[in-house]
Amino acid sequence: MKTISHRISGLSASGGGHTPVFNPATGAQTAQVASGGAAEVDAAVAAAARAFPGWAATTPARRAKVMFEMRRLLEARKDELARTISDEHGKTHTDALGEVARGQEVVEFACGIPHLLKGAFSAGVSTGMDCYDQRQPLGVVAGITPFNFPVMVPLWMIPMALACGNAFILKPSERDPSAPNLLHDLWREAGLPEGVLSVVHGGKAAVDAILDHKGIAAVSFVGSTPIAEYVYARGCAAGKRVQALGGAKNHLVVMPDADLDLAADALMGAGYGSAGERCMAVSVAVPVGEKTADALVARLKPRVAALKIGPAGDAAAEMGPLVTAAHRDRVAGAIESGVAEGAELVVDGRGLKLQGYEKGYWLGGTLLDHVTPRMTVYREEIFGPVLSVVRAADYGQALQLINDHAFGNGTALFTRDGDAARDFAQNVQAGMVGINVPIPVPVGYHSFGGWKSSVFGSHGVYGPEGVHFYTKLKTVTARWPAGLRAGAQFHFTER
């Protein structure tokens, strides 16, 4: 059986045992991954500390050359990366290719690092005096990433951190570890010096070792809200800079004037793509008015029931399995909870079996109507192919519904009314907003980040926010007096 090892320069052996890795489509164990802890994190930090001074001293233009080469390799090897994702995550090949492409966008943005690191300069701030600022790398930084995007989320972090001159330690999910290892190997092939990037596999022991390690200056995290809050609190207590992105409950409001066919298309892709296992999935549809709601549910019902579900090798598949049997059972339990609390079960995806894949972690698309804010299925993140319909009497009630929710990651409004769209974009309490766009994930040269319980910390990821997170600001005020002496000064003077 294949053993998936750490990628740590100078580490000859790991004593933390192993964790099984499964193919979600078949339920069969396909590999085992090394499970690291404090010793492996120590080794990765030591390697990073050795490599950091030389990498930080490398000019931004030369660091950009590595980014350009990585961009080329991602394009050339995208099918291999996508297959690696699908084998351990379960998402369809097309979906996995899309994941690689969105991660590649951030690498492309990082190619411009010489421009992005330019500081401001003010000449003549006082007599013979100039002032300028510069952004310098933090040192050794780390990222803790989730199972649902084993390539894209690491690529939200790694290119920005490396381009800014830092050394990086990645702790990916132990559920799909092969794709992060392949990313590491591609970075090395792109010209990244040994030790600048390490991959440490493992569970909570590895996470805690990263959060506590004095040699790590900053930590980026993406995952569930309870763990994000834990990472933020423990990392900050250890004196680190931390950005921790948590869970979501993303609403899509459908106004009476919206194109209902367009809205239904959007809800199918945003609600059931990647089996709903993404933090920007739309899990709540909010039709405004009973007539709108009835018409929308009538369009969704046959399409949800007819979803093509299959393994990644099935070119016709629109949705794959869930990542583990335990997660499938948890999502099924959430559906049962919704029904028990009074939701109408329009389409039931439980009990799905595929011939030849009977032991896979399958769950069909599920549609619940007449869901109310008091229900657990509405309040909590499900992270599965379950769409809840919460009916609103008017636009004001729909907006208030979103603003009252604990999460504030992303949201969307479908309408033909520019006034409603402008009001929604201005007043909705969420970090990412779509107008007739169901999954408003920002492009690589903007930044990703939610509000409320969807994020802990003051920085979003990638884009300009990524540059600020992975650097520290230094401002220099300089005078070259040309032989003049002003004498000692004991107070501020006019400029």
Burial code of 353-377, b = ≥16 C-beta within 10 A, e = fewer? ebeebeebbbbbbbbbbbbeeebeb
Cβ atoms of 21 and 4 within 8 Å: the answer is yes
Question: What's the distance, CA 38 to chain centroid?
Answer: 25
Element (H, E) at 214: none
Residues 6+ apart with CB under 8 A from 77: 182, 186
Q: Which amino acid is at 479?
A: R
DSSP per residue, 68-93:
HHHHHHHHHTHHHHHHHHHHHH---H
DSSP H helical ranges for 169-259? 178-189, 204-212, 225-237
Distance from C-alpha of 180 to C-alpha of 163, rounded to nearest angstrom: 18
For residue 419, the tally of other CB atoms under 10 A from its CB is 8
Cα–Cα distance for residue pair 421/435, rounded to 1 Å: 7
Q: How many CA atoms lie within 13 A of 67 on its CB side?
A: 27
CA nearest to 292, candidates 216, 386, 393, 171 = 393
Q: Reduced to 3 states, what is the DSSP secondary structure of residue 109? A: helix
- What residues are labeled active site? 279
* Count of beta carbons in the 10 Å neighbourhood of residue 180: 25
Buried b (16+ CB within 10 A) or exposed e, 48-80: bebbbeebbebebeebbebbebbbebbeebbee
- Is the separation of the CB atoms in 307 and 319 below 8 Å? yes
Tell me how far CA of residue 322 lies from CA of 6, 177, 273, 325, 426, in angstroms.
25, 16, 11, 7, 36
- Separation in Å, CA 85 to CA 28, 92, 369: 16, 9, 33
CA–CA gap between residue 366 and residue 328 (Å, rounded): 13
How far apart, in whole angstroms, are the C-alpha atoms of residue 27 and residue 360? Answer: 5
**Pairwise CA distance, residues 316 & 119, whole Å:** 50
Alpha helices in 111-212 (DSSP H): 113-116, 152-163, 178-189, 204-212
